[in-house]
Amino acid sequence: MNIAKVIVDVPARQTDRAFDYLIPEDYYGLVQPGVRVIVPFGPRSLQGFVVGVESSSNVEKLKAITQLLDIEPILNEELLQLGKWVTEQTLSYQISSFQAMLPAALKAKYEKEVELIKPEQLSFMPVTLQKLFQQSLTVSWGNIENEPGLMKSIQKEIGNGNVEVNYVVKARGKKKTHKVLFFNSTNEEARTLLDTMSSQAARQKEVIEFFLDKQIKEVPRITLKNELSTTDSPIKALIEKGILTEKDKEIYRDPHANREFKRTQPLPLTEEQSNAIIPILHSIEHNQHQTYLLYGVTGSGKTEVYLQSIEEVLKKGQQAIVLVPEISLTPQMVERFKGRFGSSVAVLHSGLSIGEKYDEWRKIYRKEVNVVVGARSAVFAPFENLGIIIIDEEHESSYKQEENPRYHARDVAIYRGSFHQCPVVLGSATPTLETFARAKKGLYELLPLSKRMHDKGMPAVDIVDMREELREGNRSMFSSLLFEKLQDRLEKKEQTVLFLNRRGYSTFIMCRDCGFVVTCPECDISLTYHRSQQLVKCHYCGYEEPVVKQCPSCQSDHIRFFGTGTQKVEEEIGKLLPEARIIRMDVDTTSRKGSHEKLLTAFGEGKADILLGTQMIAKGLDFPRVTLVGVLTADTMLHLPDFRSSEKTFQLLTQVSGRAGRHELPGEVVIQTYTPEHYSVELASQHNYQDFYLREMGIRKLHQYPPFFYVTLITVSHPEITKVVAVTEKISTYLRSNLSSQTIVLGPAASPIPRIKNRYRYQCMIKYKDEPQLRSYLKDLMDHYQKEMQQELQITIDMNPYMIM
Ligand code: ADP
Ligand code: ZN
Ligand code: ZN
């Protein structure tokens, strides 16, 4: 077993396979699947992942591994397998998949050190280790990296739980340390000692008894002093006697460390909740893999079902992953999990620094926690005995990664659920059509929660037709109804959330008089305005026409492209209601770390009357004093050139409406729109998912979109437009001639954003029901363009696009 199979860190087609390397004799037993190594590769030295160890190779002259970076595998067998699967599914590179599973601290070269965590065991360790840790509990990796013998001893002690390897992320400032006291005697030794100590040493006795009573071997000095209200002198005396040792120890950079989480108890479940949880508990108990759709309106008690399912999993000694969308990873959400499970919860989200993220990951890796609550990438948490995976708000598009590997967390969750034979629970009030269709077919089990807790009804929703407002001479961005209600809340000292939906590029053309939107005759998708050419274009099929000056429907000349910013809204409120205190949340005001949280806390404390923001305020927020929610323009997302635009609009409006009236005070919602008759708007205002589902399924079927067809999107980009068009044309032709006749290949068409950073972008969309060979055709294409892709040409393939940009 002296050959290692290594995936090297060169994300490219021709290097996307395992290369064979010789394992130097000294490293036998140390090099194992899942460790990282440094290997010579051409003239360079590269990092790589060992994916297998074998006894022979077909290659004659093998080069040897030059350095070992890990003593223990950082990817276990399951994750190595999963990495391969993700690579295959997303047509990514293996190295990219492996790196996607690990915290950033492990990707780059950070300083590493070896730490003795049980100093009292040192005397039983080999002399080489005793020498190594003579001076300090931590020694830098440099002391051992060329010493395979030492590495083996360390590997053994890692196995015994006495030593560990840490990555030191020198982010801002130094790592945090505190003074820790270690108790060096066995219990018997200590008891004998107590008997022989003189009565003057009462304080010292207390300290020894403290360790004995609590059955602990170490304690922070400050904790000991506080608990015994003692001074430094007895501690010093015991250190001098060799009974205690004091060392500096790193403390975790726990972002929630300063917060107290009030512990909560499981609530008695309602009948609906009980019915929903029984099948989940059954799967947990019998180690059965099943995907559930917990379909419940906002406030119907889904989270309580998650919490009690997790409790069962923990009782079995297993672990749980909970995914929540990035933007709803609010302190409120974290509190609910920490409140129930305390310090056994790790939290992973993008607001953490590299060091903090690594600390949280390490708690999982070391099995110091058994619940992780996190955004998308937490689905890769290195738990080895998973008992449940929960995806809250499963319809959220942030579960799809928009760079390589372009995976969807839901697919990964189901893969891991099947590996671990455990349930996967998808929760949503507005599931994606794909998920709901699977539940209806019986592929997932549907668990409905139809009622809101505490008999709270859904808030009343008013739809305001902004075309009417215009006709009546109101050119402001506020309808008279919304303005009245705003004033009313200001007087009553209640709070308002104002929501401006401004995702994407507001470049669709709409008539302000009748709400008519210019759409593609072939695709039923709004056309995108290209200012420079004065054209509107379809980004799916390439159809284009000149910009109209008059509305084709009502002949009005109030037809124009759309867009409003949060800043503009803030200014307008300032003019109309100068006394109102506003908190604005958008990318500009929340780019600094922690600002998101700060703004929300300020709003929660009543420091503002109005919270104004983009979709980042749509979810998870739960403020008792919010009694009015206003949506300024419901239409902006409706007309994005995306077949999911109606679905996204429905989901968002439903979410936003759910923000009002969650507590004692009843809530109201005002939705302003130019297309009140659109089924997304109308059905969202009635909280009617079922009818929306049926309507939208009809449209998807008619236009051959998911869940009836699969969609793959190929985007080509290059600085020269002729090149882009030619390549996209060739790709389309190649696919058309190879794929089945039922498959639809659209394009070449310019991408909705046709040029980014001086690179032109074209796309080709494949819609298919069954193409078992598709992935291999696409790989052939990538192979064909490989040389050019090392220069200016870029080709990206998305096997399940959520952004058609
Ligand atoms: P969802 O996750 O579906 O939006 P939540 O779990 O947040 O709903 O529940 C809404 C509110 O109802 C929360 O304040 C929660 O504490 C409360 N709640 C949930 N289940 C129960 C229960 N069985 N008994 C009493 N209150 C409950
Ligand atoms: Zn079209
Ligand atoms: Zn019109």
Q: Which of 55-64, 65-74, 219-228, 265-274 shows the lowest mean pLDDT across its residues?
A: 219-228
Q: What's the confidence (pLDDT) of residue 548?
A: 85
- From the list 247, 225, 226, 248, the residue with the least C-alpha distance to 235 is 225
For residue 176, the model assigns a pLDDT of 62
Separation between Cα atoms, residue 33 and residue 13, nearest integer Å: 22
pLDDT at residue 510, as a whole number: 83
Q: Which ligand is nearest to the CA of 765?
A: 2
Q: What value does the mean pLDDT of the chain take?
A: 87
- Is residue 76 very low, low, confident or very high in pLDDT (cuts 50, 70, 90)? very high
Q: For residue 633, how far is its CA from the centre of ligand 2 (angstroms)?
A: 25
Q: Is the pLDDT of residue 10 over 90?
A: no
The atom of ligand 1 lying closest to the CA of 300 is: 3
Label residue 799 by pLDDT band (50, 70, 90). very high
Strands 345-348 and 371-374: what pairing?
parallel
Over the stretch 103-161, which tens digit does the pLDDT of each residue have? Answer: 888 875 567 788 888 888 888 888 888 888 877 788 888 888 888 888 888 888 888 88
| Most confident stretch, 90-99, 139-148, 241-250, 327-336 | 90-99
Residues 6 or more apart whose CB falls under 8 angstroms from that of 41 comprise 8, 10, 19, 48
Q: For residues 13 and 783, is the Cβ–Cβ distance under 8 A? A: yes
Each residue's pLDDT tens digit, 163-204: 888 776 654 434 567 788 888 878 788 888 888 887 778 888
Q: What is the largest CA-CA distance in the chain?
A: 103
> Does ligand 1 lie within 6 Å of residue 428's CB atom?
no
Dihedral sign from CA coordinates of 487, 492, 493, 494: negative
pLDDT for 506? 46
Q: Are 756 and 763 in contact (CB under 8 A)?
A: no
Q: Are 97 and 405 in contact (CB under 8 A)?
A: yes
d(CA 150, CA 160): 15
CA distance 104 to 737: 43
* pLDDT exceeds cutoff 60 at 468: yes
Q: Which atom of ligand 1 is nearest to the CA of 429?
A: 3
pLDDT in tens, 544-561: 888 888 888 888 888 877
Average pLDDT over residues 445-456: 85
Type of residue found at 70: D
> What average pLDDT does the segment 578-603 reach?
80
**Which ligand number lies closest to the CA of residue 525?**
2
Find out whether 548 and 509 touch, Cβ atoms under 8 Å. Answer: yes
**What pLDDT is attached to residue 796?**
94
Note the pLDDT of residue 122: 85
The pTM for the full model equals: 0.80
What separation in Å is there between the alpha carbon of 544 and the centre of ligand 2?
Answer: 8
**Does residue 252 surpass a pLDDT of 80?**
no
Pocket test for ligand 1, best of 303, 332, 447, 619 (most atoms within 8 A of CB): 303
Number of H helices, E strands in the chain: 25, 33
Q: Is the CB of 273 under 6 A from ligand 1?
A: yes
**Cα 510 to averaged position of ligand 3 atoms, centre (Å):** 8
- The proportion of the chain whose per-residue pLDDT surpasses 90, expressed as a percent, equals 47
Tell me, using a 6 A CB cutoff, whether residue 319 lines ligand 1.
Answer: no
Worst-scoring range by mean pLDDT, 114-123, 263-272, 483-492? 114-123
Q: How far apart are CA 713 and CA 711, in angstroms?
A: 7
Find the range with the poorest average confidence among 123-137, 491-505, 728-742. 491-505
Tell me: pLDDT of 700 over 90. Answer: yes
